[in-house]
Amino acid sequence: MVSKLDDYFRFNELALNLRAQRQQLIASNIANADTPNYKARDINFADTLKNAMDNKTTAMPPVTMARTSAAHVAGAAAATGEGSIGGSPLLYRNPAQGSVDGNTVDLDVERNEFVDNGIRYEAGVTSVNGQIKAMINAIQPG
């Protein structure tokens, strides 16, 4: 019975985990808007979710920082290369306009993506709440 409940909620669990990690990634882009040579990163959400569903991945590894200098403290990203979320690689965001310092963060784009992703996360939570309420109504005598 528990495995059926796991299967029932698995898609939403994966989607919410990926949305939360994407939110962290976009927040990192915003935080590094003034960092010279910082390259904005993102994921293709649909492809990443499909990959996670195909691989039966439930626990998503956290997004880790990549070292851009040998003087930086080594983290988990040093072992995994460029990083990934849900088994899908992090992609570089194409800048609409170049900058003198090599930074590719466009704050307007990042803010829009941050809000859009946040709204979709809230919609996912609302969906899960609806599923739980429907299951409770089905179980309770009436």
Tell me the pLDDT tens digit for each residue of 22-35.
Answer: 999 999 999 999 99
Round to whole Å and give the CA distance between 100 and 85: 30
d(CA 53, CA 88): 12
Measure the CA–CA gap between 136 and 45, rounded to whole angstroms.
Answer: 31
- Tokens matching residue 28: 């990192």
Q: Three-state SS string across 59-112, please? A: CCCCCCCCCCCCCCCCCCHHHHCCCEECCEECEECCCCCCCCCCCCCCHHHHHH
pLDDT-derived band at 110 (thresholds 50, 70, 90) equals very high
**pTM higher than 0.75 for the full model?**
yes
